Amino acid sequence: MRPVLRTRVFHFALLAGAILLTPTMVSADTYGSKLGLGFMLGNPLGGNIKGWVNDNQAIDGGIGLGFLGGEHLQVHATYLWHFDAVNEPSVDMKFYTGVGPALDIKENRKIPTYLYLRVSAGLNFTFQKLKENGAPIDFFVEAAPLFGKGVKVDANLGARYWF
């Protein structure tokens, strides 16, 4: 295996391991569930997973295609802190902020994999009507500047189903 490819595989395995271990660390919940799996639309475009660490903290991970800064595969894991924004009987909205690593993996072998520091902020929405109808789905909107080889910004809308 080539050294560059070996390094990429190691970084990917490290982040994937952190994301996959999330369910073993959870204690809080959304809709009575501890693990959410869904999608994110924007940059990157792909899948998302979230698991609770305690009542106000969670680990969020994503993998998807990034388009800003050239086409690439992006993998990220973010440690999140949540704060109540709106807590009404019909909707619970939480503001969150977090930090974690992100990797950009490009196909062009002349350009290496880039490691970024990802700082995210967003709003998470849960709706009582969905829970009552048996659809444990939450929604989120997020922006995250990435600092590394230059600065770039992720922006996403997404949804998760809670198991």
Q: Omega into 44 within 30° of 0, i.e. cis? A: yes
Write down the pLDDT at residue 67: 78
Domain locations in the chain as residue ranges: 3-162
Write down the pLDDT at residue 149: 82
Pick from 31, 5, 25: nearest CA to 160: 31
Write down the pLDDT at residue 22: 47
Distances (CA, A) of 9 to 49, 73, 109, 136, 139: 20, 13, 14, 34, 31
Q: Count the neighbouring beta carbons within 10 Å of the beta carbon of residue 3.
A: 7
pLDDT truncated to tens, each residue of the chain (163 aa)? 455 444 555 555 555 555 544 444 444 667 778 899 999 999 999 999 999 999 899 999 999 998 766 678 999 999 999 999 888 889 999 999 999 999 988 876 566 688 999 999 999 999 989 988 989 999 999 999 999 988 989 999 999 999 8
Identify whether the C-beta of residue 52 lies closer than 8 Å to the C-beta of residue 46. Answer: no
Write down the pLDDT at residue 23: 45
Helix H or strand E encompassing 135: none
Domain 3-162 classified CATH 3.40.50.720? no
Q: At 29, give phi and psi (nearest 5°).
A: -155, 165
Task: Output the pTM of the full model.
Answer: 0.79
